Every structure is written in C-alpha cells, then in structure tokens.
C-alpha cells in the first residue's frame, strides 16, 4: 500500500499546480480540485463496495484500478504533449502494463488462506469462497468415508462457526436449554446464522410457530445451503423460517414483533463494530422484544476475551436481566441466560418429557445430553454469584465500547475468573445451594445432577484449556469408567475421537475393507459394549494396517477392553508381549484397576 499512498500524496499538489496554470485563480483551482477529490472518494468507495468487490473480487478489482490509473496517465500525457513526448509516454505505459500483468500476485489471497488452513485446519478442505460486501468468506469441509462429517465457516481468516461436535453442542444448546427450562416457545429470533446449528436446533422444537433469522450477509446464508443438504437438514427450507438480511440491532429497533426466545451468536465482541451487540443498551432492546416470561440465550466466547472483558459483558447482561445465569456450552463457549419475568418451577415429569420425546431425545443424545442430570451439570453461576463476581466492574455500554479491551495480548493466559467459573467442585456446591436452582428444579433432579458433575471433567480431556485448576482423569481411566459404570454412548465416543455424525456415515457406508472404515467401526463396537468384536477388529488392523495405525494407541485400547471384559482376557493382556513395552504409568494403572 505504501507506493499507492506515497504517489497519491504527490499527485494531489501536482494536479493543483496544473489546474492553477489553467484557471489562474488559486482559490478556484484548489476548490475545484478538492471538490473533484471528495466526489471521487465518495463515488469510489461506493463503486468498490457494491460493484467491484461483489463482481470482481479484491484481486481483479486492484488489477482493474491499476489499469484505470494507467489510462488516466495516458490521457494526461496526450492532452498536453505531442510528438516524441507522447510517444515516450505510450511506450512507458505499455511497459508498465506488461510489468503489472507479469508480477501481479494472482491468487495471492487464496494462497494465504491455504496457508491458514494447512496450519490450523490440516484435515479440512476448502470447498468454496466468496468475496462479498460483508467479508471474505471461506467454507471448509471435513470428510469421513468420503462424506461430509462437518463444515466450517471462516470469515476474513477467522474460524467463525463450525458443525463439528464442539460447535454443534454449544450452538444447539442455545435452543435446547431454553426449550427445556421454558415451555411454550412459539416465536423465536436468531441473531447471526453461522453454519445453521442453532437454527437447526430451533426447528426441532415442536411448539415453534415462527423463526426469524437475522444476518448481515446473504452470502453466509447461501453458502450454507449445499452443506445442509449434504448433511441432511435444512432449517432455511422450514416453512416457519423467515430470513432477514439486516443488522441484528437495527432489526430489533425496526420491528414490533415480540418473541418467546431471542438467541444470538454474533461474531466475538473484539471483532470490528460488534461491541454494540453485547452492550447494556442492546440487552435492554432484546428485553423490550421478549414476551412476558420470554427468555434470551446469548453467546459469551471467553476464549476470545480477557477476563475483564467478559466481566463487563456479564455486568451489562445482569443489569438488564435480574435472573441472569451462566451455563457452560462446551469448554470456553459460555451461555448467558435471562428472562423477562422469571421461570416457573419445573416438575420431574416436565424435564423427563424431553428425554422421552422421540424427535428431541435423539438430538439431546447427539450433543451428549444423554440423561437429564447432564443438563444440570452445565450450570456455572446464578445472578447472586455473577453480581458478586462483577461488583467492581463497569458494564459494557454504547458510550464505552473499550471496556472490551482492543488488545489481544495475554488473552489466552490463565485467568482467575474463568478458573473459578469452570471449577467442578465449586460449580457442584453452588448448584446444590443456589436459590435460583432450588426454586427452578425439583429436589430429585438436583440430587442426581450433583452426583454427576464429575462427568464434566471428561469433556475437558484434550481441550488444552488453560483455566482448568483441577486434575483431569487419566484418559484410559476415564474411558474404562464410562464403559464399566455407565451406559452413556456419546461421551465415550468423544474420548475415542469420534462423533455421532461419523457413526451416521458409517451406517450407510459400504467401504468396509478400508482402514478408515475399520477405525470408525471399532468406535461403534466399543460404545455398544461389544468388546469381543472390538478386540478382534483391533487385532486385525494391527496386522493388516500395521504401517498406518497408531500402534501404541490401538494396543492400549485392546488391553483396556480386555480389562473391561475381565476374566481370562485380563490374563491375556498381562501376558501379552506388548504389555512390558507400555509406559510405566499405563502399566501401573492397568494392574491397579484390573488385576486381582
């Protein structure tokens, strides 16, 4: 950009001098030049935004503008010179054109994004890209057995949304958590579409009559449609859904419609021009559009915020919603919940109904809410605790947007606030003693949830969360515990690096002689507790795919499954030649856990 800025700065006084030599009056020549410059800047920004970028993209637009400059230079020479000077000018411009064509960095933007993908998304492929008025959008696809396992939306180089398990879990929680806590969600508003996880969750609510989706980009909506069709759901095609291409805040200011649920996942607050979708004034606007008893569920992406930033947003939210509460969607994606007028107490039958409803029950299992108690384990803090934690914090407001620090330095360092909120024992105790929880849930549910909080630690294995201040279970011990002591399927599947979508693909695949198929099959057999067949398949791939397989992992998995089976299988494991080459931690754990 430096040559452009430098030469533009030189051109302005040169044009002024030229005009002055023709007009002769300094004020008139400077006035004419300023008028032309201002008019050009206004027209140019409009043309670039609404014509050049959508039609040509950044690279071709820059190339076209370069030749426009050359044309202007040519016209300037021809209008004032003749003979040899004009000939020289033509030759110089011709050489410049050849140079531009030769050295222009064609495909430079996509190469940059390919480098980004190779570094951060090594197992995903770029399938489409769009340069829109709103942003440069890239869609990535991850495959299993030749089919799409998940999609990811990357906006201006930032991974904004994805349909992998982590994204699907916390995004669908924006719909399912309010659905379980509150009966009668007829009208819902979703601010920011992403890849459609929350929209898909909302359309699973049987009572829903209308869903308004608000997003600033039509391209985001359009890019998601092929992905939906391949994976097998289409919230945009649901007859209850209406899409509005608009800023979420402007939409609320211009509509009179009231909602039973407003939910939102706009870009993280540090993104440009996004802070006013997390401010106290914005939350006041959402409350004005909630029906009596209506609820809001809103994203708090603490992985992209300093602790002081999050505290300022929580303060703003709780200043508006007196019964505010904080829940853990997945890892560092938190959910703020508030209502207009509070929630009625829930009966055990009302809670269990959602796990007996055939449609929603499968969705709850899919996101690892396999039994009701796991819902309670998501709880982090109620209004009294949040008020205490933010007592000395100023709320984020429109007039003070930099209460969200523009700095990202140290953002991923351990933070005391996050460690406090994530601490399992603290959450368990707070859940049991919270007045909010005791007024909302029946005693039977609270007791069961208190006894299940330990399971939350298993979700943290492999997340590299810097704010965890409690010891995580040993991986193999966690897996063995789940297999021996529970009937859960999704959580052990996650520990095996699998996900529900992978098993859906497996069920319809005929590539049963491939290594990839056998890897997925083993996961399915393990979570179904079909241990003998699992052991057989593992031993087969250790022989047939020796060069491809992670030998240490599969040998240990084989050994653990033999321990779970018990009896002679334990003796087989202990006497296996591979047992002695395992690391000491694993050997000691196995003997302590399974040997008599």
Are the CB atoms for 51 and 42 separated by under 8 Å?
no
**Which pair of tokens denotes residue 74?**
């040519």
pLDDT at 232: 67
At 108-144, the pLDDT tens digits run 777 777 777 777 787 888 888 887 777 788 889 999 9
Query: In DSSP terms, which residues pair with 392 in a beta bridge?
Result: none
Of the listed ranges 55-64, 174-183, 420-429, the least confidently predicted one is 55-64
At 366-408, the pLDDT tens digits run 999 999 999 999 999 999 999 999 999 999 999 999 999 999 9
Kindly state the average pLDDT of the residues 186-191.
Answer: 97
Q: With CA atoms as reference, report the closest residue to 260 among 299, 230, 303, 289.
A: 289
Q: Which residues contact 48 (CB under 8 A, 6 or more apart)?
A: 61
Residue whose token pair is 């859904």: 241
User: 163-459: which CATH topology?
Assistant: Rossmann fold (3.40.50)
Taking CA atoms, 456 is separated from 449, 520, 526, in Å, by 11, 25, 21
- Classify burial at 13, counting beta carbons within 10 Å of its beta carbon; exposed 0-12, middle 13-18, buried 19 or more: exposed
Q: With CA atoms as reference, report the closest residue to 479 among 418, 549, 561.
A: 561
pLDDT at 174: 97
Are the CB atoms for 439 and 345 separated by under 8 Å?
yes
Q: Which helix (DSSP H) or strand (DSSP E) does residue 263 occupy? A: strand 259-264
pLDDT at 84: 65
Strand runs (DSSP E) across 307-372, as ranges?
325-330, 333-339
Are the CB atoms for 188 and 210 separated by under 8 Å?
yes
Phi/psi of residue 450, nearest 5 degrees = -55, -40
d(CA 37, CA 425): 65
Report H helices in 395-454.
416-422, 424-433, 435-440, 443-450
pLDDT at 79: 64
pLDDT at 85 over 70: no
**Which pair of tokens denotes residue 317?**
């939210």
Domain ranges of the chain: 2-103, 108-158, 163-459, 475-594
| 197 alpha carbon, distance to own chain's centre | 10
Which of the four pLDDT bands, split at 50, 70 and 90, describes residue 52?
confident
- Classify burial at 40, counting beta carbons within 10 Å of its beta carbon; exposed 0-12, middle 13-18, buried 19 or more: exposed
Identify the DSSP state of 581: G
CB atoms within 10 A of CB 72: 11
pLDDT at 212: 98
Residue whose token pair is 């950009």: 1
Taking phi over 0 as left and psi of -120 to 50 as alpha, with beta for the rest, 82 belongs to beta
Kindly state the average pLDDT of the residues 289-305.
Answer: 96
Mean pLDDT computed over every residue of the chain: 90
pLDDT at 230: 75
**Which pair of tokens denotes residue 219?**
């391209």
């Amino acid at each position: 950009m430096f040559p452009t800025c430098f030469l533009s700065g030189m051109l302005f006084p040169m044009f002024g001098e030229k005009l002055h030599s023709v007009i002769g009056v300094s004020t008139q020549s400077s006035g004419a030049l300023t008028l032309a410059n201002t008019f050009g800047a206004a027209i140019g920004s409009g043309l670039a935004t609404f014509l050049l970028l959508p039609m040509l993209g950044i690279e071709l637009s820059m190339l076209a503008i370069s030749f426009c400059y050359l044309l202007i230079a040519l016209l300037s020479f021809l209008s004032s010179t003749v003979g040899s000077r004009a000939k020289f000018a033509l030759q110089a411009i011709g050489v410049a054109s050849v140079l531009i064509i030769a050295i222009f960095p064609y495909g430079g933007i996509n190469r940059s994004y390919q480098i980004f993908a190779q570094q951060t998304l090594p197992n995903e492929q770029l399938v489409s890209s769009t340069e829109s008025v709103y942003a440069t959008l890239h869609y990535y696809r991850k495959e299993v057995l030749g089919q799409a396992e998940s999609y990811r939306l990357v906006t201006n180089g930032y991974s904004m949304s994805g349909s992998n398990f982590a994204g699907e879990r916390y995004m669908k929680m924006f719909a399912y958590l309010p659905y379980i806590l509150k009966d009668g969600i007829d009208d819902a508003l979703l601010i920011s579409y992403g890849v459609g996880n929350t929209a898909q969750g909302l359309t699973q609510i049987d009572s829903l009559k209308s869903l308004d989706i608000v997003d600033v980009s039509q391209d985001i909506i359009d890019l998601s449609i092929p992905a939906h069709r391949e994976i097998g759901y289409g919230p945009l095609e649901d007859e209850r859904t209406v899409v509005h291409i608009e800023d979420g805040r402007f939409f609320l200011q211009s509509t009179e419609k009231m909602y039973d649920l407003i939910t939102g996942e706009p870009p993280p607050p540090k993104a440009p021009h996004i802070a006013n979708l997390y401010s106290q004034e914005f939350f006041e606007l959402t409350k004005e559009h909630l029906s009596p008893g209506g609820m809001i569920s809103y994203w708090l992406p603490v992985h992209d915020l300093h602790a002081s930033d999050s505290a300022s947003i929580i303060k703003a939210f709780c200043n508006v919603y007196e019964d505010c509460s904080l829940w853990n969607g997945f890892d560092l994606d938190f959910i703020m919940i508030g209502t207009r007028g509070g929630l009625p107490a829930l009966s055990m039958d009302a809670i269990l109904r959602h796990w007996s409803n055939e449609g929603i029950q499968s969705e709850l299992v899919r996101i690892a809410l396999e039994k009701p108690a796991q819902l309670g384990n998501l709880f982090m803090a109620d209004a009294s605790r949040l008020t205490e934690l933010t007592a000395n914090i100023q709320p984020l407001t429109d007039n003070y947007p930099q209460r969200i620090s523009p700095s990202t330095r140290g953002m991923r360092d351990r933070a005391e606030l996050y460690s406090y909120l994530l601490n399992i024992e603290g959450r368990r105790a707070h859940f049991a003693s919270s007045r909010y929880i005791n007024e909302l849930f029946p005693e039977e549910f609270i007791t069961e949830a208190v006894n299940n909080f330990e399971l939350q630690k298993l979700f943290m294995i492999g997340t590299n969360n810097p704010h965890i201040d409690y010891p995580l279970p040993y991986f193999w011990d966690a897996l063995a515990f789940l297999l021996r002591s529970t009937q859960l399927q999704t959580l052990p599947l996650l520990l095996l690096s699998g996900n529900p979508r992978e098993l859906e693909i497996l069920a319809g695949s005929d590539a049963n002689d491939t290594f990839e198929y056998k890897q997925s099959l083993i996961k399915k057999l393990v979570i179904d507790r079909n241990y003998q067949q699992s052991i057989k398949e593992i031993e087969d791939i250790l022989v047939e795919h020796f060069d491809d397989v992670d030998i240490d992992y599969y040998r240990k998995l084989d050994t653990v499954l033999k321990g779970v089976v018990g009896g002679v299988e334990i003796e087989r494991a202990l006497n296996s030649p591979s047992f002695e080459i395992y690391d000491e931690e694993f050997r000691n754990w196995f003997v302590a856990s399974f040997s008599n």
